[in-house]
Structure 1
Amino acid sequence: MTNVTSPTLIDTLKQAAQAAGEILREGYRAAGTIDFQCKGASDFVTDYDRAAEHAIINSVRNVHPKVGFLGEETGATPAQDNNVVVVIDPLDGTNNFLHRVPHFSVSIAVRQGDQLTHGVVYQPLLDEMLWAVHGQGAYLGSRRVVASPARPMPEMLLATCLPYHAKGDCPTSLRQLTAMMPAVAGIRTPGSAALEIAYTGLGRFDAFWSQGARLDLWDVAAGIVFAREAGLVVTDLEGNTNPAEWHSLLVARAERHDELLDALRQAG
């Protein structure tokens, strides 16, 4: 049986992300002519989205045939003879992609039992590969990432996700934004949660939070692995560290995590 915990698993995930990224680059260039069908209010699925997910599954299955899959488009496929599940968001930032906003990513994680162990977040337009393995660190390409010192709250640039249409809790998001805007240097909502969480690990953002917006596991799993391995604290807004039980999210450096947690909980 293939040893799915060997270092070759992360290499397989990176190759799968690159294969999906090539499909998405092609689609981005043709974005004005994409045919898409509506899956829900402002929630579109494109042929490129599906093709990218199939490319990931095929790439991983060819090397590790017994793993399971949890994909945004294809749903759940149980693992055979092991508890390893590959969690896939083939196109995190679909609305950006369709509107030709150059901010989206391929997100692939591995869950073994209740633990997230591997994460890959790939920005295909920049060819940036952000990846991490539990206990082995976080990397941008071949460079190991170490969290930079925390900035004071008034200097922090935060990222968040906002709800839209019926997907989430608009009043909670507005209360939290109202509380945080006077306290920090800026708040951004770029539209690819996996990428923003990973960017927080890189130091491009000082923290990421979400409560009002509805995020599924495939939206955040790979970014969580990367941020934790970069040295950040990742919990929900109750301080819970188990992603299976979350309905909210906070990613921050240890020196600011409790301060942000208190501010957001009071607002929310």
Structure 2
Amino acid sequence: MTASITAGLIDTLHQAARAAGEILYEGYQAEGSIDFECKGSSDFVTHYDRAAEHAIIETIRRAHPDVGFLGEETGATPAGDSDLTVIIDPLDGTNNFLHRVPHFSVSIAVRKGEALTHGVVYQPLLDEMLWAIRGQGAYQGSQRISVLPARPLTEMLVGTCLPYHEKGDCAMSQRQLSSLMPRVAGIRSPGSAALEIAYTGLGRFDAFWSQGARLDLWDIAAGIVIAREAGCKVTDLSCNPNPAEWNSVLVAKPEQHDKLLRILSK
């Protein structure tokens, strides 16, 4: 990654996230029900998902024309003379958006080879930008996120994504919930994995895990960079080092990560 690309890339990602966020904000505030299509069981897409992804790609392409893209709605676009791929979830939390639950996000990550290097998660209703560059820390707006000490297990608030109608392994999630519920202070499933993983880095959650739900790379990539740069340990539940191949994820402070892994793997 050249110095010139590195210097301008995070600013471009911020611009792209805000461009997408404006589209989502307008859609959320519009009167009447939001039209949608079903891509599959419990898998919805709206005009706003597609418009937001288009805005992200066009904003980044103008500044960095050679990068590749992997988008939830547009699929894979090969890179030109670049080893960078931008991974996009233009609206993480579509079901919340459809029901006007104010918890969704724009998620943009960059991958160099197999290494995730940049992550941006933007909550347009709060105008909150969470971001990180590998090796350079994690930030909430212009403020660097402090690495916080881990809470005891009995004080931890844990986020998760749960499976639902014809999507995921409900029995597995039920077993994991049964193992974890008696040991922690609370479990929440708000519905935007990118945001909840980033929130774990910020300290709003003490941990995040998911295995029964089906999470794709664009759901988790940006959050992984932010959480790691904020001092969290991020793995899957089988120690596979490549996030592109994960079917589970666990995010927590290092002091509690292995304890949670043992509980969830029983």
Q: Same fold (TM over 0.5)?
A: yes
Report what 1:207 is aligned to.
Answer: 207
- Percent identity of equivalent pairs: 74
Deviations 1:42-94 (A, max 9, x none): 22111111000000000000000000000000000000012100000000000
Letter of the 1:218 partner, please give it: W
- The answer to whether the 8 Å contact 1:31/1:98 transfers is no
- The answer to whether the 8 Å contact 1:147/1:253 transfers is no
Letter of the 1:240 partner, please give it: N
Q: How does 1:85-104 map to 2 (within 5 A)?
A: 85-104=85-104
- The answer to whether the 8 Å contact 1:159/1:207 transfers is yes
Report what 2:239 is aligned to.
Answer: 239
The separation in 2 between residues aligned to 1:188 and 1:205, in whole angstroms, is 9
The separation in 1 between residues aligned to 2:179 and 2:38, in whole angstroms, is 35
Report what 1:40 is aligned to.
Answer: 40
Letter of the 2:61 partner, please give it: R
The separation in 2 between residues aligned to 1:138 and 1:117, in whole angstroms, is 12
The separation in 1 between residues aligned to 2:187 and 2:159, in whole angstroms, is 6
- The answer to whether the 8 Å contact 1:104/1:192 transfers is yes
Q: How does 1:75-114 map to 2 (within 5 A)?
A: 75-114=75-114
Report what 2:140 is aligned to.
Answer: 140
Is the alpha carbon distance of 1:111 and 1:31 closer, same or farther for their aligned partners in structure 2, counting shifts above 3 Å? farther
Letter of the 1:220 partner, please give it: I
Deviations 1:127-178 (A, max 9, x none): 0000000011100000001221100000000000001112111100000001
Deviations 1:81-117 (A, max 9, x none): 1210000000000000000000000000001100000
Letter of the 1:89 partner, please give it: D
Letter of the 1:206 partner, please give it: D
Q: CA deviation at 1:244?
A: 2.5
The separation in 1 between residues aligned to 2:100 and 2:31, in whole angstroms, is 6
Larger mean Cα displacement after TM superposition, 79-88 or 184-193: 79-88
Structure 2 alignment gaps of length 5 or more? none
- The answer to whether the 8 Å contact 1:234/1:241 transfers is no
- Residues 1:152 and 2:152 are matched in the alignment: yes
Letter of the 2:258 partner, please give it: D
Q: How does 1:111-126 map to 2 (within 5 A)?
A: 111-126=111-126
Q: CA deviation at 1:34?
A: 2.0
Q: CA deviation at 1:30?
A: 1.8
The separation in 2 between residues aligned to 1:32 and 1:155, in whole angstroms, is 41
Q: CA deviation at 1:3?
A: 5.8
The separation in 2 between residues aligned to 1:182 and 1:78, in whole angstroms, is 47
The separation in 2 between residues aligned to 1:2 and 1:34, in whole angstroms, is 42
Give me the CA root mean square deviation.
1.4
TM-score normalised by length of structure 1: 0.96
The separation in 2 between residues aligned to 1:239 and 1:254, in whole angstroms, is 14
The separation in 1 between residues aligned to 2:132 and 2:31, in whole angstroms, is 31
- Residues 1:193 and 2:213 are matched in the alignment: no
Larger mean Cα displacement after TM superposition, 231-240 or 151-160: 231-240
Report what 1:10 is aligned to.
Answer: 10
TM-score normalised by length of structure 2: 0.97
Secondary structure at the aligned position of 1:69 is classed as strand
Secondary structure at the aligned position of 2:24 is classed as helix
The separation in 2 between residues aligned to 1:2 and 1:33, in whole angstroms, is 46
The separation in 1 between residues aligned to 2:86 and 2:94, in whole angstroms, is 20
Report what 2:224 is aligned to.
Answer: 224
